[in-house]
């Protein structure tokens, strides 16, 4: 079978999923439909509906778009069956019921942004950086009942530099994901797929989960070590952002930190205490040193560099974060 004859249904929602879809379309593959999340209510009263990045791209290419509220809805299942897909591809979508993922004759494969079986879950890129990993990657695997546990088709590894934040790693994996999706589709077309059970993949340590990240997940614990907090901040930068409470006297504000540098040093300060010249630098004490803050953002304000912050900040002896 030629790639133009292979009927593909593509499922995805965020920007991360656009790259792989774009590569399929530009590569001449036969994408018969795109399935994405319903438009999201936006604005003060939810009166404006915002289409997903995947929908925006699909519409621009004249592709058929389905946006089911429920994946077990009979009308949706019927429409999906009518497409007679040979293969389904899932990139950053939702957990699929068996009636959906088992439908195509060649199966359904998922692109996941980690080196499975490590970092199963909704936020694999964030957690890999938060945990100070020096390597991550992407994996394609066939879906089965338990989430992110199907047999591995292929993987690509990349290093994580100590200065990389989530935005940098995200962009790298997004581009590599496009390559790997096409490579996986071609292998399936050619009948050259040799899958590997995740249980047989050798591990150098314990399995790390990658659960969904909530606001409270992002709060900085200043009693931890410098390296741990540094990794935590870059693992949430630029989005959703690690935050802390900024205290000056009785005034408490929410402050997000995006870029920092590690300084290891002995001191007798309480974690969260400030060390600053009031002009050009701000160091925040940790359990074993300081973090030199380079960029930050107050709630409701724009992100700024430390020099701009210092122009409007008047140092107070009782200022600290916690």
CA–CA separation, 242 vs 129, rounded Å? 13
| CB distance 319 to 253 below 8 Å | no
3-state DSSP assignment of residue 95: coil
Q: Per-residue pLDDT averaged across 109-122, rounded? A: 96
Confidence band, pLDDT 50/70/90 cuts, at residue 317: low
Distance CA 165, CA 316 (A): 31
Q: How far apart are CA 207 and CA 118, in angstroms?
A: 6
121-179 pLDDT tens trace: 999 999 999 999 999 999 999 998 888 889 999 999 999 999 999 999 999 999 999 99
Mean pLDDT of 208-226: 97
Binding residues: 114-117
* Tokens 């790997």 belong to residue: 180
Banded model confidence at residue 210, pLDDT cuts 50, 70, 90: very high
Distance CA 89, CA 91 (A): 7
Mean pLDDT of the chain: 94
Q: What architecture is domain 216-321? A: Roll (3.10)
Binding residues for (6S)-5,6,7,8-tetrahydrofolate: 114-117
pLDDT tens readout for residues 254-276: 999 999 999 999 999 999 999 98
Select 7-200's CATH number: 3.30.70.1290, 3.40.50.970, 3.40.50.2300, 3.40.50.170.
Answer: 3.40.50.170
Supply the DSSP symbol for 204: S
pTM for the model? 0.94
Task: State the pairing for strand pair 289-298/30-35.
Answer: unpaired
Decide if 255 contacts 321 (C-beta within 8 A): yes
Contact 104, 199 (CB under 8 A): no
- Tell me the pLDDT band of 314, cut-offs 50, 70 and 90: low
- How far apart, in whole angstroms, are the C-alpha atoms of residue 306 and residue 294? 5
Task: Say how many CA atoms lie within 13 Å of 118 toward its Cβ.
Answer: 21
Residue 315 has pLDDT above 70, yes or no: no
Q: What are the sequence ranges of the domains in the chain? A: 7-200, 216-321
HSE of 230, CA atoms in CB hemisphere, 13 A: 25
Would you say 283 and 291 are in contact if contact means Cβ atoms under 8 Å apart?
Answer: yes
């Amino acid at each position: 079978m030629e790639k133009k004859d292979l009927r593909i249904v593509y499922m995805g929602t965020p920007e991360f999923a656009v790259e792989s879809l774009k590569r399929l379309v530009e590569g001449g593959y036969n994408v018969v439909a795109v399935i994405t999340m319903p438009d999201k209510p936006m604005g003060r009263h939810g009166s404006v509906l915002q289409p997903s990045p995947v929908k925006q791209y699909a519409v621009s290419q004249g592709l058929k778009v389905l946006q089911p509220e429920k994946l077990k809805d009979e009308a949706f299942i019927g429409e999906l069956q009518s497409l007679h897909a040979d293969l389904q591809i899932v990139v950053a979508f939702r957990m699929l019921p068996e009636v959906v993922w088992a439908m195509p004759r060649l199966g359904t494969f998922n692109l996941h942004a980690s080196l499975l079986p490590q970092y199963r879950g909704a936020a694999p890129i964030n957690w890999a950086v938060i945990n100070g990993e020096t390597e991550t990657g992407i994996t394609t695997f066939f879906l089965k009942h338990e989430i992110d546990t199907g047999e591995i088709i292929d993987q690509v590894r990349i290093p994580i530099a100590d200065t990389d934040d989530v935005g940098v790693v995200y962009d790298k994996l997004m581009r590599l994901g496009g390559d790997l999706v096409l490579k996986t589709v071609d292998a399936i077309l050619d009948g050259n797929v040799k899958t590997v059970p995740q249980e047989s993949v050798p591990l150098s340590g314990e399995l790390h989960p990658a659960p969904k990240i909530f606001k409270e997940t992002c709060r900085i614990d200043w009693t931890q070590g410098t390296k741990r907090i540094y990794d935590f901040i870059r693992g949430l930068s630029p989005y959703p952002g690690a935050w802390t409470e900024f205290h000056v006297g009785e005034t408490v504000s929410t402050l997000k930190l995006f870029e920092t540098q590690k300084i290891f040093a002995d001191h007798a300060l309480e974690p969260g205490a400030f060390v600053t010249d009031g002009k050009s630098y701000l160091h925040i004490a940790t359990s074993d040193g300081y973090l030199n803050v380079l960029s930050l953002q107050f709630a409701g304000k724009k992100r700024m560099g430390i020099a701009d912050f210092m122009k409007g900040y008047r140092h107070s002896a009782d200022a600290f974060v916690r």
